[in-house]
Amino acid sequence: MRAQFARTAAVLVPLALFAAGCGSERADTGDRSGDPGARSAGAGDRARDVAAAWDGSKAAEVWRAGYYPLSDVVQLPENAFRNEDDKMAYSAENYVLDAELPTEAPKKGKVEWESGSSLSLPLMDARKAYDGIARGGNEGPHLTVTAVKLGKTTLVTSRGPATVPAWLFTLDGYDTPLKRVALEPSVLPGSPIEPLENTTDDLLELGQLVEVGRDGRSVTVLAGHGACDDGADVKVLETAGSVVLSGSIVGASDGDCTLQLLFQKVTVKLKRKLGDRVLLDAFTGAPVTQRRMPTT
């Protein structure tokens, strides 16, 4: 039975970060080169339509003027994790606060790009940053925060690598802090093209962005597939203004199969650096981001 999934992927994505491909030995992180000629005609037509709608659009202008992280806004300490308990605590977001959270901080923080441009945005306070990483509450293993201060970090954004303010959480047993970027992303522009209504084996909605390589030449996303196929594949269409990713299922079975959605990390190589091109999902017609963001 060929899979046809409802659009529920976004709800399951946070769990998939720590269980990508859970229940399937086929899940992998292998690189897959983008070859527009290898995808089905329908998926290829859709990718071209999405690229055409975005290239030169007002939405693309908004994207290039904003701040959109393309790597994780929570950065682990060096050599994390010491043991399985710490890894479990992080995935469950279980923390104990054994320190005072700073109550005073600047109202604004600045994104500083390597190009020399910058953007001032409201600074997230320490309490909000801590509550954003410590959402667990079970009786299992936990990480202990022993000190908190404001500092800086670097990450990949839609306009290239940038230095941004970050809250630094010292964890018991670690020499370097866990960092949480102290700025919220800009509001996403509304897409100039409507999403498709139904998924098929040939074109599925992607889960979320995992990371863009530091050199800008690779993109890793979570892509969905079923329990009775050979896994997920992602093709890429590159234009001057956008990079459109098309998720699909490989080797779908025509027999009976349980209806479940699994995720795996898939990395695609780009012919040239992503730069400030918009990274788009062919199915939704919208930017691929680390997490769902509000839109205009």
Domain positions in the chain are 9-66+189-281, 74-181
> What pLDDT sits at residue 120?
97
What is the dihedral sign for C-alpha 208, 286, 4, 29?
negative
CA distances to 62, 94, 207 from 136, in Å: 35, 5, 22
**CATH T-level topology, domain 74-181:** Lipocalin (2.40.128)
> What pLDDT sits at residue 5?
43
- Tell me how far apart the alpha carbons of residues 36 and 74 are, in angstroms, rounded to a whole number: 33
Q: pLDDT of the chain along its 296 residues, tens only?
A: 344 444 433 333 333 333 333 323 233 333 333 433 334 447 789 999 999 999 999 999 999 999 999 989 999 999 999 999 999 999 999 999 999 999 999 999 999 999 899 999 999 999 999 999 999 888 899 999 999 999 999 999 999 899 999 999 999 999 999 999 999 999 999 999 999 988 776 898 998 899 898 888 999 999 887 667 668 899 999 999 999 999 988 876 666 666 667 788 999 999 999 988 999 999 999 999 876 555 55
Residue 142 exposure: Cα atoms within 13 Å on the Cβ side: 16
The one-letter amino acid at 81 = F
Q: Please count the other Cβ atoms lying within 10 Å of the Cβ belonging to residue 15.
A: 12
Residue with tokens 């025509």: 254
> What pLDDT sits at residue 42?
72
> What pLDDT sits at residue 24?
30
Measured in degrees and rounded to the nearest 5, phi and psi for residue 109 equal: -130, 155
